[in-house]
Amino acid sequence: MQARTLSEHRIARDLGEALCRRMVGGCIRDLQRMQGHMLSGDDSGLINTWDEICVQQQIEHSFSWHAYVATMDAFIESRISQLKPYELDAIWLLTRQGDEWDSELEEDRGRYPVSEHDVAAYLQDELLSEATNWSNSRIQGYLDGRYEWD
């Protein structure tokens, strides 16, 4: 067993990553609960909005992709609004902007550069990364049949 060392940077990173996983997982569950009125059509074999997002992320965005993005953004923003300040900070440190800030000399850093917008964009990227790699029998069946989007 490797000896554990105490590191503020590691603690902040581990916290940010755990929060990110929790928030992305929650958004996925919310999108999976969205059933009915599927934009892909009743005969697509897909049963929820998450299935549709995964298919579109894996092959091609439909003309209604903006509706999916707006839905994902709403779930992400809702979760961000519930974060404690230190939780928002921990996730922000994972962003490109956070990494750049952390790389600056301390005297050159902005006082408090944390942005909810940066965190939302980061979480959306993480959510879409999950969608790119997600599969189930419905998604695979859709991809194998290469259904056409309306």
**For the chain, what percent of residues have pLDDT higher than 90?**
68
Phi-psi region of 60 (alpha: psi -120 to 50; beta: other; left: phi over 0): beta
State if pTM tops 0.95.
no
pLDDT in tens, 12-24: 999 999 999 999 9
**Res 147: pLDDT:** 53
pLDDT in tens, 117-145: 999 999 999 999 999 999 999 999 988 88
**Res 49: pLDDT:** 95
Q: How far apart are CA 42 and CA 85, in angstroms?
A: 43
What amino acid occupies position 123?
L
Average pLDDT, the chain: 90
Q: Is the pLDDT of residue 150 over 70?
A: no
